[in-house]
Amino acid sequence: MNENQPKDPCITEIIVANNGPLKIKGNLEIQLASGEIVTKEGTTGFCRCGVSKIKPFCDGSHRNIEFIG
């Protein structure tokens, strides 16, 4: 089994990473603020720190600001 996929596909698995993004496992269809639809598979990280340059997704920038949350 791929660890990036949810254990039970009927359950949405959400992980709040310590001092990092919100990770959601599974196949996602996301409507961006622009209205564009983006699809993601596996684990997708959503920015919680506010500094990502690819919001709503995490780009790892939280490490540069030593985000706590």
CB of 55 to ligand FES, least distance (A): 8
Name which of 24, 17, 21, 57 is nearest 43 in CA terms: 24
Distance CA 14, CA 65 (A): 23
E strand or H helix that includes residue 16: strand 13-16
CB of 60 to ligand FES, least distance (A): 6
By CB under 6 A, what part of segment 26-65 binds ligand FES?
47-49, 51-52, 58-62
**Residue ranges in contact with ligand FES by CB under 6 A:** 20-21, 47-49, 51-52, 58-62
